[in-house]
Amino acid sequence: MGDTFQEVKEVIKDVLKIDGENINADTRFIEDLKADSMDQFFLIDGFCEKFDLTISDEDARNIKSVSDAVNYIETHRNN
């Protein structure tokens, strides 16, 4: 999870304009980072761009935390 986690964290910091100091695997986008629906859209878009992925709307709805994003990316990036 290490490298992917760091890359996901960088996307989050960039999109949400935060320092990211308190981001860990259990960090939730809405509850912990106060992301709204547009922020979530831009996060998913950022993950797609960074990791050269296509994330369906249905899959995007299930990505609610940093660990969800990391697990999804690690599962789908080489497929």
Number of structural domains in the chain: 1
Asked whether residue 1 carries a pLDDT value surpassing 90, the answer given is no
* pLDDT grade for 72, boundaries at 50, 70 and 90: very high
pLDDT at 77: 82
Question: Which residues are the active-site residues?
Answer: 36
Print the domain residue range for 13. Answer: 2-76
pTM across the whole model:
0.92
Closest by CA position to 27, among listed 77, 64, 73: 64
pLDDT at 79: 58
3-state secondary structure of 28: strand
CATH number at residue 27: 1.10.1200.10
- Integer-rounded Cα radius of gyration of the chain: 11
pLDDT tens string 2-47 = 799 999 999 999 999 999 999 999 999 999 999 999 999 999 999 9
Residue with the bigger pLDDT between 79 and 16: it is: 16
